[in-house]
Chains A and B, each alone.
Chain A
């Protein structure tokens, strides 16, 4: 057992003897156009079945809704007015002034901060409203809640530092679903979904749903990684919003990108998951967001529940002792 929280190398923690660099995504939402090519590419490569009955959710151009057992990439879509843009810019500026830890000499930060006052703050298109689009994916956390609580060992840490479900081992207990602080992993339903391949066979027999009853999530295309290929979503992304590579390079790229956006006055830009001191020890998938994380449906301060597990076991031990004492008192404390 490795560390339960704090900065660490997850691959070494999992006792991999040979060292592959940790792989990860950097999803730069500032250049996402919401085309959903990543969703489609992911579904096709991973043979993920349709989920839902192709309903329109009626809230936005996003009719996928959320990440789930059969949706391993999900493009969020948010429309915001001017007021919210100003708020986002302010909250982003506040993050910069907190003096977050960064790699490299701090000298680069101070001139950027002074530049912000004179910087051109007009967004490229309009100041009145904006569309936020963000392709969400499994975070492949350094301390993965799902992996920690899996009782069967079906979830494992790969040599690339990612977290993958072995579908022949998982028995569908569902503990990982509750263990994930990001709401990513889900148990696949039995496939009571109507899939029609043409108008004529609307009511014909539907294709079998693979891996029903088993927890499913993004594998960071493990089958492609072992063949030295880029994950399907990153390969399909037409704007390079989804970047794939060594985790360290991704974090570095993300930091450069956010400081260049800040230099342009776009202080609403911020990174999500690039801090190894956060509650999950940093994520394998790093995001550049343009508003608070909860706007995109991401938790603002996730913490891997297992970080508190030693304390929970201690409390449970005390409770067990209390129960034993109560029984002892009941039997020994004289005849009632």
Chain B
């Protein structure tokens, strides 16, 4: 179409972007058309957008939040290991796990507060309890966990310093409550490890939202293997038998949950998990987790090998969290990941005869 002679100076129209070929999950929607395979029932959705600008906004969260995802998991798993050490008579494991839990949860909380738009108002998180807000539920879980983790870790610090903390008569109280406090922290440990998955799932960010069914399993597994890895670094091998088992279970859980998650997600929404920085991080996360798990199984009784495996597991967990975090942000920045899965599911519902629940209506 030409309206004037000056139209020849216009830049050519950009080519409409087609589905990227290449690394995707085992093709649930194979690009074919040569008749060699069955064609999908719902046709591929053409993709148009408003000048390629994002539809949803990415969460304004920096790496602080990704670091918190990791640290919260380490804290949660450490509190469980601490309780295990407490109940099974492993004093060094108990002490190290309790200290790890307090250190991780403190660093994580600082990271969270730092990421707020108004850090001085962080206590507003506790001005209400809202079950519809995973962030609110999580703030209460974090507070409850920190109370128990703090008390039990302070008790350890007091013992390590030869009762030199200026506690006065409170020392007896501390001795009396440290056991229950360790138990209380362990009660909130699981929720602390899992709520962050709900927090990410309960957003309009395409990749996080599409992963909401399996992300809790990925996150608790990641927390388990990270905290077990940390225990293997900090604690002599004679007391880390359970940590080694937990590490192996965590690796198995994470690799399996990640695979199931990628299978069950919308294939387009899953793409950011395989691309760019996020893809590289998740790939290395899996490699390091498997390597750390094997190292734990084969060399876990050697102090050095256990520590190296533990470090590999910690790195794997951090990479998992940063990878999932980055993938979500990338999916929000590209309108394709919002529009295509939505068009696909709308077309699928229409093909199934459900025509009354679209936001766009003819009248």
Contact = CB atoms under 8 A, between A and B. Distances in A.
A129 to B, nearest CB: 7
A262 B363 contact: yes
Interface residues of A, number: 106
Interface string A238-278: 00000000000000000100110010000000111111011
Chain B, interface size category, equals: 35 or more
B349 to A, nearest CB: 8
Contact of B216 (A145, A214, A315): A315
B243 interface: yes
Contacts of B282: none
Contacts of B278: none
Contacts of B357: 275, 277-279
B56 A180 contact: yes
A172 B80 contact: no
B302 to A, nearest CB: 14
A335 interface: yes
Interface in B249-265: 249-250, 253
Interface stretch (A25-33, A47-55, A195-203, A297-305): A297-305
A92 B219 CA distance: 44
Contacts of A262: 362-363
Contacts of B198: 309, 312-313, 316
A130 B58 CA distance: 32
B255 to A, nearest CB: 14
A57 B50 CA distance: 13
Given A100-B361, A215-B117, A297-B49, A327 B203 contact: no
Contacts of B116: 171-174, 213
* Best-buried of B84, B134, B241, B253 by chain A (most CB within 10 Å): B134
A225 interface: no
Contacts, number: 328
Given A178-B332, A302-B204, A315 B213 contact: yes
Nearest to A2: B132
Contacts of B219: 319
Interface of B: 1, 3, 47-51, 53-61, 76-77, 80-81, 84, 87-88, 115-119, 121-122, 124-125, 127-128, 130-136, 138-139, 189-191, 193-195, 197-199, 201-205, 208-209, 212-214, 216-217, 219-221, 223-224, 228, 241-246, 249-250, 253, 300, 332, 335, 338-339, 342-343, 345-346, 350, 355-363
Top 8 nearest A-B pairs by Cβ distance?
Answer: A172-B117, A213-B117, A297-B50, A320-B190, A95-B362, A171-B121, A151-B136, A319-B216
Interface of A: 1, 4, 57, 59-60, 65-66, 76, 78, 81-82, 92, 95-102, 109, 128-129, 145, 148-154, 169-175, 177-188, 212-215, 255, 258-259, 262, 270-275, 277-280, 283, 289, 292-302, 305-306, 308-309, 311-313, 315-324, 326-327, 329-331, 333, 335-336
7 contacts: A95-B360, A101-B361, A151-B138, A172-B117, A186-B57, A292-B48, A299-B56
Given A322-B220, A323-B77, 7 more contacts: A172-B121, A296-B50, A300-B339, A301-B343, A320-B194, A323-B189, A323-B224
